Amino acid sequence: MFGRKKFTQNVMGHEIAAPKPTRWALFYILKYVGLPICLLLTGLDIILFFIFKYGFNSCYGFFCLLN
């Protein structure tokens, strides 16, 4: 995974499996990558909502296209 070859190593006669991502790795990826992206996009959506609603006096969103 991630471009690494899966192989076993011998350390002092013991076979050690190749490193692999853990649940904590997934947690940290979601915390430090996914959460900031979601917060940034939510903030951008709120800013654009107020710009379109009060600046241009128009509807903003998908359901406005249905009217």
pLDDT tens figures, 16-60: 887 888 999 999 999 999 999 999 999 999 999 899 889 988 888
Domain for residue 2, yes or no?
no
Domain for residue 40, yes or no?
yes
| pTM of the predicted structure, to 2 decimals | 0.63
Domain count across the chain: 1
* CA distances for 11 relative to 17, 55, 62, angstroms: 11, 66, 59
Q: Which residue range is the domain that position 25 belongs to?
A: 9-66
**Given this model, what pLDDT does residue 48 score?**
92
Domain for residue 27, yes or no?
yes
Beta strands in 1-67 (DSSP E): 9-11, 14-16
Domain for residue 1, yes or no?
no
Domain for residue 55, yes or no?
yes
Residue 3 — pLDDT band, cuts 50, 70, 90?
A: low
Domain for residue 3, yes or no?
no
